[in-house]
A and B are shown apart, each in its own frame.
Chain A
Amino acid sequence: MERLYLYVIGLIVFFLLSYIIAEFNSIRRLSNKVKQSKSGIDVSLTKRFDLIPNLVECVKGYMQYEEKVLQSLTEQRQKYEASKSIVDGEKTNKEVNQILALAEKYPNLKSNEQFLKLQEELEKTESQIAAARRLYNSDVTMYNTKISVFPSSIIAFLMRAKKQELYDAEEEAKNKQNVKF
């Protein structure tokens, strides 16, 4: 009878340990996914900002009175390159959109072939950035849900897993608003 109790306890301990390991791995996997999707945003932003030198070179001749804006863009890009933070990335992106909006005032620039090609490339990268943000938010939501629901919240607490911040949609809306005339 004692042996039976021992077997039962052994089985329970085995299943409990298996569950803890499975949950630990699951939380780790989700955390890695969040890191991967965050770097996806960085990759997309970098791809977009790599077009900035060409953009500045292209519009310089047309937008002589917008020197300050062009200068600010170049500086902001350098800031992002140094910090790689989402906030700096968004500020740089905002400046790029500002340049594109300002270009509407210059009809000669708008018909420039190189500018049109750049504009197309920038639109492509904009949609990639939007997709990367959505993916990041989706991964963060899954991760945050996992670490907050019972019983995986206990494992998360022991792992000191912290909630991740979602990408701020309001900030994006503000950026988009500044681009409109």
Chain B
Amino acid sequence: MQNSKFTEAYNDLYARLSNEIEKERKKVFLKLFLIIVIGIAVAMLFFNVMSEKSGMASAFMFMNLMLGMYFFLIILFIVFASRKYKKLYKKKVITGLVEKINESYIYQEKGGIDRSYYNKAEFDTHYDTYRTEDLITGNLGNNIYMNMCQVHTQKVETTHDRNGTHVHHITVFFGLFGYIELPFKNSRDVSILNNDRFRHYAKNRVEMESAEFEKYFDVYTKSTERISAMELLTPEVIEKLLKMRKEFKCPINIRIREDKLYFIVEAGDIFEAPLFRKSFNFDLLYKYYNLINSPKALYDLLSNNLKMMN
């Protein structure tokens, strides 16, 4: 279900930018098409020459080698040729969308949130590398500040076998991470985490009465603060949180600790320009819109009950 505010923003951005952005995207494919055509022509030429000089078997072997190198070159080409298009997309489309949602929001492609904040949130602590980009900062209204960015954390594992030592980078988390500075003193510690089969039986889990909510989320508090979970997650909040989860179509985790509300959305690589779809794909932009709007949506959902609790 798309909302009218997004539709208005989409229509405005589409009218202003779609031609320019789509033109840039098509340029990438035109170049790619030319490269493929030239590549096939060169390959066929080489094949004819090789088969005449060294026989069919050698020609096939040489072709296989050439094809392998050629595919690698095509991938490299796509990465480099699309850089201009991707940069333009972030500069114009994402920035435009961010401004449409909230004029106070500032988008920085290369910015990020410091690792210390991510560690304080304790969504995951077992990682080795931490990369960020696509920082958005701003005021939710009434001087309530938020920061969010794309985060990619990985674990580095080394394996040894008879072929040597291999280093593997395993993704731990890839998506949106952010925090909101609460404008009031908070003494409660409540976590609303994605449902996890293994964590499900942890001691400090508080079971909610909604079976559907239990399918998607696990709630944790200190053993002496179990009522806090119920105070925060009233039936209305549970319903809205479920709706949000279904709209995002990916796990959401929330942690309220001291003076901050931390959240992560496992949305993968976000705010990237689509290459094999139209640049102004409605569903994709609606996903980005929801992600950019998520701090405000979460704060509006939880703040009243949080204030009552403290």
User: Are B231 and A131 within 8 A (Cβ)?
Assistant: yes
User: Are B308 and A135 within 8 A (Cβ)?
Assistant: no
B235 — nearest CB in chain A belongs to which residue?
A134
B230 at the interface (CB under 8 A from A): yes
Q: Which of B227, B229, B234, B308 has the most CB of A within 10 A?
A: B227
Chain A stretch 17-70: residues in CB contact (< 8 A) with chain B: 37, 40, 44
For residue A43, give the distance in angstroms from its CB to the closest CB of chain B: 9
Chain A stretch 133-162: residues in CB contact (< 8 A) with chain B: 134-135, 137-138, 141-142
User: Are A131 and B207 within 8 A (Cβ)?
Assistant: no
Choice from A123, A124, A128 contacting B227 with Cβ under 8 Å: A128
Interface of A, helix, strand, loop or mixed by DSSP: helix
B161 at the interface (CB under 8 A from A): no
User: Are B231 and A137 within 8 A (Cβ)?
Assistant: no
User: Are A138 and B209 within 8 A (Cβ)?
Assistant: yes
A37 — nearest CB in chain B belongs to which residue?
B226
A85 at the interface (CB under 8 A from B): no
Q: A135-B206, A138-B207 are in contact. Are A124 and B230 (CB under 8 A)?
A: no
A132 at the interface (CB under 8 A from B): yes
User: Are B209 and A137 within 8 A (Cβ)?
Assistant: yes
Q: A37-B226, A135-B226 are in contact. Are A128 and B231 (CB under 8 A)?
A: yes
Q: Count how many pairs of residues, one from A and one from B, have CB atoms less than 8 Å apart in the complex.
A: 36
User: Are B308 and A124 within 8 A (Cβ)?
Assistant: yes
* Total count of chain A residues near the partner, CB < 8 A: 16
User: Are B227 and A132 within 8 A (Cβ)?
Assistant: yes
List of A residues within 8 angstroms of B207 by Cβ: 138, 142
B310 — nearest CB in chain A belongs to which residue?
A124
| Binary A-proximity of B224-249 (CB < 8 A = 1, otherwise 0) | 00111111001000000000000000
For residue A99, give the distance in angstroms from its CB to the closest CB of chain B: 21
A71 at the interface (CB under 8 A from B): no
User: Are A132 and B230 within 8 A (Cβ)?
Assistant: yes
A83 at the interface (CB under 8 A from B): no
| Binary A-proximity of B139-175 (CB < 8 A = 1, otherwise 0) | 0000000000000000000000000000000000000
List of A residues within 8 angstroms of B209 by Cβ: 134, 137-138, 141
List of B residues within 8 angstroms of A127 by Cβ: 231, 234, 305, 308
Chain B stretch 189-218: residues in CB contact (< 8 A) with chain A: 206-209
Q: Tell me the bound Cα distance from A44 to B231 in angstroms.
A: 12
User: Are A134 and B308 within 8 A (Cβ)?
Assistant: no
Q: Tell me the bound Cα distance from A104 to B156 in angstroms.
A: 65
| Binary B-proximity of A98-135 (CB < 8 A = 1, otherwise 0) | 00000000000000000000000001100110111011
Chain B stretch 271-296: residues in CB contact (< 8 A) with chain A: none
User: Are B308 and A40 within 8 A (Cβ)?
Assistant: no
Q: Tell me the bound Cα distance from A141 to B210 in angstroms.
A: 12
Q: Tell me the bound Cα distance from A18 to B308 in angstroms.
A: 45
List of B residues within 8 angstroms of A135 by Cβ: 206, 226-227, 229-230
Q: Which of B229, B230, B231 has the most CB of A within 10 A?
A: B230
List of A residues within 8 angstroms of B226 by Cβ: 37, 40, 135
A-B residue pairs, 5 tightest by C-beta: A131-B230, A131-B231, A134-B230, A135-B230, A131-B227
Given contacts A123-B308, A131-B227, A135-B206, 5 further A-B contacts (CB under 8 A): A127-B231, A127-B234, A130-B234, A137-B209, A138-B209
